[in-house]
Amino acid sequence: MRATILQRDGKGTPTHACMTGCVIQCSNAFADESGELLAAPLEFETIGLCGSNLEIVSLDEIAKINRLCNDFGLDTIEVGAALGVLMEAAEMQDIPSKFNRTDLPVFGSSLNALKILSEIPLGTELAKLVGNGVVFAGNALGVKHIPAVKGQAMSAYDPRVVKGTGVTYATSPQGADHTAGLTVFFPVDHRDAKNAVNLSKRAQLQRAAYDALGLCAFNTSATGQRPDIVLNMLRGVYNVELSENWMDLLGRRVIDVERAFNKAAGLTKEDDRIPKYFTQDALTQPLESVFDVLESEMDTMWDS
């Protein structure tokens, strides 16, 4: 992608600060062949969900989907997942009679996907499915594989091979939200189910604290293992005493409030579950693996 952006020049840039003053500058702007802006930014999760998830390999086609999502204020993870279940429906023997199979998008092609997305302002039947997200779309079409928890689509990490992140998907009060506690940065075997709850808990506490402080999650790459840097920054700016475990206490307070909200809204531990097919349908070789973290471990992870 970087080479394409540089070669096209124009309004594209492979590095950009989405917030004034950011020195990491992980954002980008993707231009089309004539150098005109197509989408900004074109992110990993978007390429995962609107690209490889749909077997679409062209960055230009992915960027067009991204552009429409940006224009309509839609999340590219949710839209990519919803388009995926529409594509699965296109391969099913039976679909509800009110839908026309030839209108559905198919894996490997952006043609119908872009048409459906562009119809969102018109409120056509298929556009309503995509606009309402992956669970709504999957249930309406009777699709077996709906990758979501608490109504939110999963991001580009399969819980069968990144099991700590799978625990985050299942147990986060926010649903299958990768920003709530990714575990991919820990240098461990991510298929090991035994350590998954511990990793997820550490990641969720950290991310909740960073969110509450208004810090970009990507700072955790630099300071995640050195909370003292952030603590010293806060002590210096606000002239306050902060204990060494203050970040964890802050994260825990946020998660406790969110969990109390969910409980009052009627959610139970049965909502803290990964869709069953991730525990039954193994990925193919060489990564043959299912999500096999014990439910009893996840149910008690916030007890202490």
Name the residue nearer to ligand SF4 (CB basis): 215 or 234: 215
Please, are residues 28 and 11 in contact by the beta-carbon 8 Å criterion?
no
Contacts of 9 (CB under 8 A, 6+ apart): 31, 35
Query: Which of 190, 152, 187 shows the shortest CA–CA distance to 49?
Result: 152
Whole-angstrom distance, CA of residue 160 vs CA of residue 278 = 6
Q: Which of 6, 18, 229, 233 binds ligand SF4 (CB under 6 A)?
A: 18
C-alpha triplet 134, 156, 257: angle, nearest 5°: 70
Q: How far is the CB of 47 from ligand SF4 (least distance, A)?
A: 16
Say how far apart CA 158 and CA 287 lie, in whole Å.
Answer: 11
Decide if residue 19 touches ligand SF4 (CB under 6 A): yes
Under rule CB under 6 A, which residues in 21-40 are in contact with ligand SF4? 22, 24-27
* Closer residue to ligand SF4 (CB): 18 or 287: 18
What's the closest the beta carbon of residue 42 comes to ligand SF4, in angstroms?
A: 13
Which CB sits closer to ligand SF4, 58 or 221? 221
User: Taking CB under 6 A as the rule, does residue 215 contact ligand SF4?
Assistant: no
Q: Of the ranges 13-21, 173-181, 189-197, 234-242, which one interacts with ligand SF4 (CB under 6 A)?
A: 13-21
> What is the chain's alpha carbon radius of gyration, rounded to the nearest angstrom?
21
Concatenated DSSP letters of 156-202: SS-TTTSHHHHHHHHH-TTSS-GGG---TTSSS-TT-STTHHHHHHH
Helices (H), ranges, the chain? 2-8, 44-50, 59-72, 76-90, 111-118, 125-131, 134-141, 163-171, 196-213, 220-223, 227-238, 246-264, 277-280, 295-299
Q: Which of 184, 216, 229, 249 binds ligand SF4 (CB under 6 A)?
A: 216
The nearest distance, CB 211 to ligand SF4, in angstroms, is 12
- The yes or no reply on residue 185 touching ligand SF4 (CB under 6 A) is no
Give min distance, CB of 143 to ligand SF4, in A: 33
The nearest distance, CB 210 to ligand SF4, in angstroms, is: 11
Nearest approach, Cβ of residue 26 and ligand SF4 (Å): 3
CA 12 to CA 35: how far, in whole Å? 7
**Minimum distance of ligand SF4 from residue 10's CB (angstroms):** 21
**Which stretch in 16-24, 48-56, 108-116, 284-292 sits in contact with ligand SF4 by CB under 6 A?**
16-24
Q: Which is nearer to ligand SF4, 113 or 230 (CB)?
A: 230
Minimum Å distance from CB 17 to ligand SF4? Answer: 5
Instruction: Kindly determine how many residues on this chain lie close enough to bind ligand SF4 according to the rule CB under 6 A.
Output: 10
**Cβ 202 vs Cβ 225: under 8 Å:** no
The residue from 33, 58, 218, 261 that contacts ligand SF4 (CB under 6 A) is 218
Q: Residue 29 pairs with which residues in a beta bridge?
A: 13
> How many residues are there in the chain?
304
Residues that bind ligand SF4 (CB under 6 A): 17-19, 22, 24-27, 216, 218
